[in-house]
Amino acid sequence: MRQAIGFFIILVCFPIIWILYSFIHTELLTASAFKDNLEQSIQLSSPNLAAPVVMLDENNNIFSEDYVEWRDPLPIESIPLFVQELFIQSEDAEFYNHIGFNFSAIFRAVFANASANANEQGASTITQQLVRLRYLSTEKTYERKVTELVYAYEMEKKSTKEEILLNYLNEIYFSNQVYGIGAAATYYFGRPLNQLTEAELAFISAIPNNPSMYDPLENFEATKKRQELLIDVLVNNGRISTDQAVALKAEPIVLQTKKKKQLYPAYSTYVLEELKSLIAEKEGYKEKMSNAQNEHQKLFFENELQTRVNEIIAQGVTIYTALDPFKQKEDEAYVNNLLHKTSDVQAASVVINNETREIISMYGGKDYKKFDFHRGYQAVRQPGSALKPLLVYAPVFDMTSLTANNTINGGKLCIGTFCPQNYGGAVYGDVTLKQAFRFSHNTPAVRLLDTVGIDNAFAKLDQFQFSHITAADHTYASALGGLTNGVTVLEMADAYTSFINGMYKPAHAIRKVVDKNGEVLYEWQEEKKEVWTPKTVQTMRELLSDVVQNGTGKGISIPSTYVGAKTGTTNDFYDYWIAGLTDTYTSAVWIGYDMPKNMKTIESKKIHHKIFNQIMNTK
């Protein structure tokens, strides 16, 4: 009895409700504040949505995808008419005739809900569903429904039916964080939408009606039944024949679910960091931060930059990189296996292509996981003698008349309270610069730094990308690699490329960044510049080669017509380094403990030599 009374009251009151709604609607639209709000809110273009960030290797193959939501928006011409008909016939058969809402459907829903003493049955048009997706909650209240009707009416005024249908098909939810019919095709079947059969199209079209109930990964049979129901709708509405329906229902459905590609995390993690640097360079944030008057202002610009990076990433970009996937895979496997034999020792390496000056391989640490601490570019460590070629010897040959055959005193030395010692406390007489370099004597290096001048030497070092060196490092201890903070493996490999031919250009992993339409957003455009004279380069290459053949680099064995390198060992054996180059590559290698401790007991294993041999091999 109560149910009948409720039904009667709603039936009688509905015309009054409708008149009141029309009146309120008119009044609201004449109110400038509400009108302005609608004009700002009801925009037909797709809203900012989290789209995938895709990375391509040197062969333009995908190796990494970063996304929370999988989306693949398509133009209307790329969406088969069969799919369009499926949604229109099943969701909103009067789509092309109504003004945003369907009065008869609302009336039917009121009757049904009154009969059920509930408000479960909907009467939403495709336009209303799009409004709800973009602007409103999904709660089922009559107040929210009225707001939805107003928004749907406004959307119809501002757009064409085709535009509304396109946005709807590109934005509806297909379960498993998949949005849009195009993304559903690639996610569930691994093929573009236009390559799916009509049975497959009907199958994925079944999901949005109830993405939880019709999740094909969890409830395949329920999804299949819903697919068959949609096919029956097409038959009942005269869109396909009964025979066609039988054939579509009988076609086997085999899912080929898309797996997010997350190969080579050490490389992809760095690429995202370099993307931030690239945006900072191109949009002026780097200059702003370098000119900041205080730390507070610098932090403000850094936050601004991060916001901008997030905006770019959210739009969806494809990043073309220089990654050599075969080399990355081989290097990672070798170093991981090597380090597993030595408890807790970590390593990092960077390999740069000599011809292109691009980063083709990176090692960030044992069994590296995406966004872990990356020892290749984040670990700032003391470089030891590996810094001598850049800060001492090359500046000496570049700025004085000294040659590798000139002699220098290798005896004891004190400058003020600074009294460096050679390895093992050894004391030498006069030695040639070549001998001092070969065996990495310390006191000759300090004397040479004094000869060229500390500030002059650091002026040469400033040509490179050493971001952690400060004015406090302008001391004689720097001749031995003793710095306040230190350097990274990437910075060392990058600087050593200057010994290829005296020309320098910062090494990068990113070739270009393009948007969803293929338009180039960012790319590096630095030009090579001369940092060492040809005479200096020739001398340094000879000295680096001599280290490998006769000095501290013995054990380095690489099939190349040229191999040159410099080793480095820091105080208390906390860090072991090798930086050098061949005809093909330039690289730097570091090994050590994350929490520095003495590695004297493993020195004879020459782990860093083995890593260098592996990563510099061109096989």
DSSP annotation string for 523-541:
---PPPEE-S-HHHHHHHH
The two most distant CA atoms of the chain are separated, in Å, by 114
Q: Which two tokens stand for residue 48?
A: 């900012």
* Pair type for strands 585-592 and 575-582: antiparallel
Cβ distance 497 to 581 under 8 Å?
yes
CB atoms within 10 A of CB 595: 7
Amino acid symbol at 45 = S
Cβ distance 504 to 526 under 8 Å?
no
Nearest Cα to 74, choosing from 248, 195, 215?
195
Residue whose tokens read 């929490």: 595
Nearest Cα to 528, choosing from 499, 498, 508, 488?
498
* Pair type for strands 70-71 and 178-179: parallel
Cα distance between residue 150 and residue 132, in whole Å: 12
DSSP assignment letter at 393: I
CA distances to 182, 316, 318, 402 from 50, rounded to whole Å, are: 15, 7, 14, 60
Cβ distance 576 to 569 under 8 Å?
yes
Catalytic residue among 91, 148, 332, 491: 91
Catalytic residue among 268, 385, 440, 587: 385
Question: Could you confirm whether 200 is annotated as catalytic?
Answer: no
DSSP annotation string for 562-607:
-EEEEEEE-GGG-EEEEEEEESSEEEEEEEE-SS----GGGGGG-H
Amino acid symbol at 434 = K
Cα distance between residue 201 and residue 213, in whole Å: 18
Amino acid symbol at 196 = L
Cβ distance 86 to 202 under 8 Å?
yes
Cα distance between residue 193 and residue 342, in whole Å: 50
Nearest Cα to 75, choosing from 159, 164, 170?
170
Question: Could you confirm whether 91 is annotated as catalytic?
Answer: yes
Residue whose tokens read 């799919």: 83
Residue whose tokens read 């406004």: 154
Cα distance between residue 326 and residue 487, in whole Å: 28
Cα distance between residue 219 and residue 204, in whole Å: 13
Contacts of 174 (CB under 8 A, 6+ apart): 180, 181, 183, 184, 187, 188, 204, 207, 208, 211
The sign one gets for the Cα dihedral 464, 465, 466, 471 is positive
Q: Rounding to the nearest 10 degrees, give the CA dihedral for residues 535, 540, 546, 548.
A: -150
Cα distance between residue 581 and residue 144, in whole Å: 68
* Pair type for strands 317-321 and 53-56: parallel
Cite the active site residues.
91, 385
